[in-house]
Amino acid sequence: MLCINNPYTDAWFNLAAEEYFLHSFQENVFMLWQNEPSVIIGKHQNVWAEVNMDFVRDHRIKVVRRYSGGGAVYHDAGNLNFTFIENSDNADFNKYLIQIQKFLREIGINAEADERRGLNIDGLKISGSAQCIHKKRVMYHATLLYSTDLLSLNAALTSLPTQQNDVTSPRLLYVKSVRSPVTNIKEYVPDNMQISNLKELIMNYFLKNETNNKIYIFSEKDLSAIKQLSRNKYSTSDWNFNASYLK
């Protein structure tokens, strides 16, 4: 498995990178990444019903539609993102959830899984996930709240009632997010653990998970293809807001 410690924080780029590795690579991939403040909505969601457009506009927060389904999430520098992409004829998404749980136990956090493959501590959500299948490749990605600005998270994901009828797509049925109370895992780890320390622990854990795992760094070819996909798709209003492809 190729293990990527992705240094980029642009949400358009990172969502494009996931699709690129899903479609264009044959190898299994694990990618750890972070975004600048962004709202990431599921492929089949109505952005106007999920996002406080005034808040994200005023705070210059990007809204990006991802390739997978599921609900809306908020990313910032206090949130970590896991992406697993593997070849499989029989997708077992629970195995990725279990791997994250095992890692968390190693740092002293016992997180319980819920029916939507989220992870919770004392009934408070610390991780949400989504998944998809492309041909014989599967993608599972998950968040991990470490020190996210929870006030901004709640504000960005609280849609204004005046937006509910502002629908620019002919699609009538959309996936609605399931709201849950959240917390940061920083409250449950030693005070001296920084998010950079946590990232290092995560990369080492998954790098050593299998004997053939190895570090992979974006090539110039990768960067060129990802940036092109970002420009042509993930940064466009049609993809992110109009969802005119959903009919």
Q: Which residues pair with 124 in a beta bridge?
A: 121
What is the pLDDT at residue 164? 60
Query: Which tokens is 134 given?
Result: 């492309």
Nearest CA-CA partner of 80 in 128, 124, 27, 28:
128
Task: Go through 184-211 and write b for each residue having 16 or more CB atoms within 10 A of its CB, e for each that does not.
Answer: bbbebbeeeeebeebbeebbebbeeeee
Asked if the model's pLDDT at residue 176 lies above 90, the reply is no
pLDDT band per the 50, 70, 90 thresholds, residue 177:
confident
The tens digit of pLDDT for each residue in 62-99 reads 999 999 988 999 999 999 999 999 998 888 888 999 99
Enumerate helices (H) and strands (E) in the chain, giving the number of each.
8, 12
Domains of the chain: 2-242 (3.30.930.10)
Q: What is the mean pLDDT of residues 116-123?
A: 91
**Chain centroid, CA 173 distance in Å:** 23
The tens digit of pLDDT for each residue in 43-57 reads 989 898 899 999 999
What is the pLDDT at residue 180? 83
What is the pLDDT at residue 247? 45
